[in-house]
Every structure is written in C-alpha cells, then in structure tokens.
Amino acid sequence: MCAVPKPECEEALDRLFEYIDHELPEDEIHRIGEHLKECPPCEAEHKINEKIKRLVNKTGHDVAPEDLRARILQTIRATRPDGA
C-alpha cells in the first residue's frame, strides 16, 4: 500500500516537529494528535521523530544536524520492510 499522501497527512508531517516540540496552538496540536491516532503511517513518522528528538537531546543539541537526522532516519527505515 503506497497511496499518495492525503492533505491531512501532508499537514501532519509538515508540522510534526512543531507538534513534538509543543510549539503549535492548542487546536492544531489536537487536530494533528487526532490524525496521528487514526493514521498509522503518520503515527510511525511521529514515533521516529520523537525518537530522534530524544537521541538528539542526549547529545546536548537542540536541533539535530541535518546529516545526523538523515542517518537516523535511514537506519530506522532500513529496519522497516515496507519502507513507509
């Protein structure tokens, strides 16, 4: 299953970092939270990014350097057979 992302998905993924950082208004946090609950691919992406954020926090950086982020994503994706 590899459908074109829905507009809600694009929005959720677009705001994912702000969502994780709680930098969104209450209603958007709620909207995206609801979407994540009913959309497994987006929820998976959310989990991955939360994980990256935790790993990055451990290194003492606020933001993951782009190459570190890419490397983590690649590692995580490599373990997922569906490649979603």
Q: Shortest approach of Zn ion to residue 38 CB, angstroms?
A: 8
Site string for Zn ion, 32-61 (x = CB under 5 A): -------x--x-------------------
> Is 32 exposed, middle or buried, given 0-12, 13-18 or 19+ CB atoms closer than 10 A?
buried
DSSP type of residue 81 = T
CA 36 distance to own-chain centroid:
10
Of 9, 29, 44, 48, the residue at the interface with Zn ion (CB under 5 A) is: 9
Q: Which C-beta is closer to Zn ion: that of 31 or that of 53?
A: 31
Residue pair 24/32 in contact by the 8 Å Cβ criterion: yes
Is 16 a binder of Zn ion (CB under 5 A)?
no
Q: Which C-beta is closer to Zn ion: that of 40 or that of 65?
A: 40
